[in-house]
Amino acid sequence: MIPAPLHRHLRSSRYPRSSRYLRRILLALTAFLTVAAGALTTATPSQAADQRPCDLYAAAGTPCVAAHSSTRALYAAYDGPLYRVQRTSDGTGKDIGLLTAGGYANAAAQDSFCTGTTCTVTVVYDQSPRHNHLTIEGAGGAGGADTGVPADALPVTAGGHQVYGLSFSGHMGYRDNATSGIAVNGQPEGMYMVTSGTHVNNRCCFDYGNAETNNQDTGNGHMDAINFGTECWFAPCSGSGPWGQADLENGLFQSDDGHSKNNSNTGNHAPFATALLKNNGHNHFAIRDGNAQSGGLTTQYAGPEPNKPGYSPMHQEGAIVLGTGGDNSNGSIGSFFEGVMTSGMPTDTADNAVQTNITSVGYGAPSRVPPGTLTPGSTISLRATTPGYTNRYVRHQNNVAVDSVTTSGSAAPDKADASWIVRRGLADASCLSFESRNYPGDFLRHQNLHVYRQPMDGSALFRADATFCPKPGKNGQGTSLASYNHPEKFLRHYDNTLYVAADGGSDVWDTTASWRDDVSWAVTQPWTA
């Protein structure tokens, strides 16, 4: 932009238009533009660093019309609530906001409010100016009324802070049937969600996106939502999933023919995964995905709309659904950390910029709590102290908790399986729970006295089964971990498997031989930080 005084100077007829005079003016203008260009170049990195997904999409001409997250702000300037929790004890609610504008969730406010009781998430707020807030979904054509997710089921690290994701364990879902700005009747749109490749199933339907406004299946093309799970609707599918798929109603599509046309798309197993769908509403849709911790996006399909009646053009109705299908098919499980919907179909360039921003969050990175201690937030490994077994560590293997030899030469997945994040006890904050390092939201839990790695479902029984109270090591070394709901029983390794065991009892793993050694654990630095 030319400054006003210089602009007027160039246009004034009072000055002679000699070539020397014009050269002076042109030199001055060139100098100004050079300085201005330098200033703009210098400013660009800081502006980019401050941008969030919705800032990036807006700059590309496809602004967000919905922006939902329980972990962080999706606009650099956003300073409102992320979600609302309700206490079980007295029904009181509280909005959970941010530590700073444009920052991360104030999880400590939730922890304080929910102390001594449990909380459920009742509202997921829309950060966009459209106010498309999601509330607990009512009954639909394929399922009864849903419940909200337990507020503390999915503790994760983002931006170096402990925050909470939303963990769906079936019959849980959120919806808004009276939205503003969401695409309808073939209008173009895009959407993404950050989810998890380790908490999935093959039930319908873990969706985020555009759905019917009456909780019913109203026909082909009346939905446009990103789905993430292992349900192969149109065979053949490559691999075992989970896949990002397009739920366009009456089908989870991986291509215009429905089935996978991409043999390399065998599934995205990343603990934190980006799943993205965009659709011009008439003759083209695309599915992309990636690892939400690192790297870029892969286009798994980009091509024509499904070649069945009703999908070209689309007939979206403009509701928003999270965690279920459009008719409230609610048998799915899944994890949700953030997601947005746009007005218009974003470019790949804009999507790529958003993916770069997502990976900068550091989902699942080590917390700021020093590792190797029983302080909530610390990452640890638990080593056996039984003579002859001191190279064995607690790990999960095929969902079962075992003790296994782990060394510096072990494979990276094995080291990750033997690493645990210490959390406040799910049933008693004075005790502890242990979250899997590489399966967010999964905890050590005893069931019928055997110990497993399982996703937290929010129930009182699970909370009790997954809570252990530390005591001085029974053999004089390390720590022994008493079961919260069976305080006479302690976490024990026996025959390479973990149990909760008493010192003498009716079960074979209750044998008194080496019991004191087998229930004593050295808390060590984690194999995976």
Q: Catalytic residues, which ones?
A: 249, 327
Q: Quick one: tokens of 405?
A: 């030899």
**How distant, in Å, are the alpha carbons of 82, 171, 218, 346 from that of 146?**
20, 5, 20, 32
Give the sign of the dihedral formed by CA 375, CA 376, CA 377, CA 378: positive
CB 205 within 8 A of CB 324: yes
Q: Mind giving me the DSSP string for 147-162?
A: BPPBTTSEEEEETTEE
Burial class (CB in 10 A: 0-12, 13-18, 19+), 60: middle
The strands making up 64-69's β-sheet, listed across from edge to edge, are: 64-69, 338-343, 189-195, 273-279, 285-291, 297-303
CB 78 within 8 A of CB 127: yes
| Phi then psi dihedrals of residue 103, to 5 deg | -105, -140
Residue 473, phi-psi category: left (phi > 0), alpha (psi -120 to 50), beta (remainder): beta
Instruction: Round to whole Å and give the CA distance between 332 and 230.
Output: 10
CA atoms within 13 A on the CB side of 273: 28
DSSP character at residue 98: B
Residue 24 makes CB contacts below 8 A (sequence gap 6+) with none
List Cβ<8 Å contacts ≥24 apart for 408-411. Answer: 410/527
Residues, the chain, total? Answer: 529
The strands making up 319-322's β-sheet, listed across from edge to edge, are: 93-96, 83-87, 119-124, 134-136, 174-176, 319-322, 207-211, 224-229, 243-247, 252-253
Instruction: Round to whole Å and give the CA distance between 445 and 433.
Output: 9
The closest alpha carbon to 163, from 96, 258, 248, 211, belongs to 96
Number of Cβ within a 10 Å radius of residue 13 = 6
